[in-house]
A and B are shown apart, each in its own frame.
Chain A
Amino acid sequence: MRIPILKLQNYLLISIQIDLDDQSAIQFQEDLLNKIHKSGATGVVIDLTSVDIIDSFIAKVLGDVVTMSDLMGARVVLTGIQPAVAMTLIELGIHMQDVQTALDLEQGLIKLRQELEG
């Protein structure tokens, strides 16, 4: 399954609506990096509102996506992480310290604007 990536001005918006299997997660990572490269986007919002499970593999892929995007010059914000998912991640021992987050897609965009446009 392919996750759609939308472009809005300088930003890319992604809303993950499927139960991510490993293959789809890796595919998404590749698609996003290609899209950043092609579009020259400077910011990315990945909305996780509909995601009800993040295990260690998906967490690793998401963390890697943030680091890789950063290397390419695009700032990533994760939004909409459910309370149950946040608790589970911490219990798994995954802290995602270097990852920017916001409550929802809108807040994510505001955060990016503030950071990138001053």
Chain B
Amino acid sequence: MDFKSCVNIRQEWDIVGARQLGREKAKELGFGTVDQARIATAISELARNIYLYAGTGKVRFEIVDQLDKKGLKIIAIDEGPGIRDVSQVMQDGYSTSGGLGAGLPGVKRLMDFFEIRTEWGEGTEIETIKWVR
């Protein structure tokens, strides 16, 4: 199985669209309800961050099919301001928008793989994977 799909984040409603599509993909892949909720929540956090801090961007879904395991990869990409200090934004409670600051550290806990690639002034790309158990 090989598929790619992508949701553009341009308006607030796209956050809901992205997490709904992600949940559908997760269900198709055979994730249980708890993992579906984890995946949908992670997508919601990443998509909202794009909307809030970069304005626009996209969330891409890919199925990772390896010999011994299968998973859903989610990549959130924007060309916004970038993140100056990654270790700072990964702290629970750190927020520049009066939020709970739970988003990024939360996504890391909800998913199995988490990586931020960002350059100040260039944009941000966050890649995360959940493996089917």
Binding site for B on A (CB under 8 A): 19, 21-23, 52-57, 59-60, 82-85, 87-88, 91-94
Which chain B residues numbered 44 to 68 have a C-beta less than 8 Å away from chain A?
A: 44-45, 48
Q: What does the 1/0 interface line of B35-51 toward A look like (CB < 8 Å)?
A: 01110110011001000
Q: Is B19 an interface residue (CB 8 A)?
A: yes
Q: Give the contact stretch, choosing among B72-80, B81-89, B95-103, B121-129.
A: B95-103
A53 CA to B48 CA in the complex, in Å? 14
On whether the beta carbons of B38 and A93 are closer than 8 Å, the reply is no
Chain A residues, CB < 8 A from B105: 93
On whether the beta carbons of B102 and A56 are closer than 8 Å, the reply is yes
On whether the beta carbons of A87 and B34 are closer than 8 Å, the reply is yes
On whether the beta carbons of A92 and B110 are closer than 8 Å, the reply is yes
Closest 4 interchain pairs by CB? A92-B106, A84-B37, A55-B44, A56-B102
Least CB distance, B130 to chain A, in whole angstroms:
12
Chain B residues, CB < 8 A from A91: 38, 106, 109-110
Total number of B residues with any Cβ neighbor in A under 8 Å: 26
A93 CA to B105 CA in the complex, in Å? 8
On whether the beta carbons of A53 and B41 are closer than 8 Å, the reply is yes
Chain B residues, CB < 8 A from A21: 12-13, 15-16
Least CB distance, A40 to chain B, in whole angstroms:
31
Set B12, B34, B37, B109: member contacting A23, Cβ < 8 A: B12
Chain B residues, CB < 8 A from A59: 100, 102
Q: What does the 1/0 interface line of B88-120 toward A look like (CB < 8 Å)?
A: 000010000001101101100110000000000
**Can you name 8 A-B pairs with beta carbons within 8 Å?**
A21-B13, A52-B40, A53-B41, A55-B41, A57-B48, A87-B34, A91-B38, A92-B41
Q: Which residue of B lies closest to A56 (CB)?
A: B102
Chain A residues, CB < 8 A from B19: 53, 55
On whether the beta carbons of B99 and A57 are closer than 8 Å, the reply is yes
